[in-house]
Chains A and B, each alone.
Chain A
Amino acid sequence: AQSVTQPDIHITVSEGASLELRCNYSYGATPYLFWYVQSPGQGLQLLLKYFSGDTLVQGIKGFEAEFKRSQSSFNLRKPSVHWSDAAEYFCAVVTTSGTYKYIFGTGTRLKVLA
Chain B
Amino acid sequence: ETGVTQSPTHLIKTRGQQVTLRCSSQSGHNTVSWYQQALGQGPQFIFQYYREEENGRGNFPPRFSGLQFPNYSSELNVNALELDDSALYLCASSLSPEVVDTEAFFGQGTRLTVV
Contacts and interface: CB of A to CB of B under 8 A. Distances in A.
Interface of A: 4, 32, 36, 41-46, 49, 51, 90, 92, 94, 96, 98-107
B100 A43 contact: no
A102 B41 contact: no
Contact of A42 (B35, B44, B58, B108): B108
Chain B contact-residue range equals: 20 to 34
Contacts, number: 65
B28 interface: no
Interface of B: 2, 4, 6, 33, 35, 40-45, 48, 55-58, 90, 92, 97-100, 103-104, 106-109
Contacts of A99: 48, 55-57, 97
Given A99-B55, A99-B56, A100-B99, A43 B106 contact: yes
30 contacts: A36-B106, A43-B6, A43-B107, A43-B109, A44-B90, A94-B99, A96-B100, A98-B56, A99-B57, A99-B97, A100-B48, A100-B99, A100-B100, A101-B33, A101-B45, A101-B48, A101-B56, A101-B58, A101-B99, A102-B35, A102-B43, A102-B104, A104-B42, A104-B44, A105-B42, A106-B40, A106-B42, A107-B40, A107-B41, A107-B42
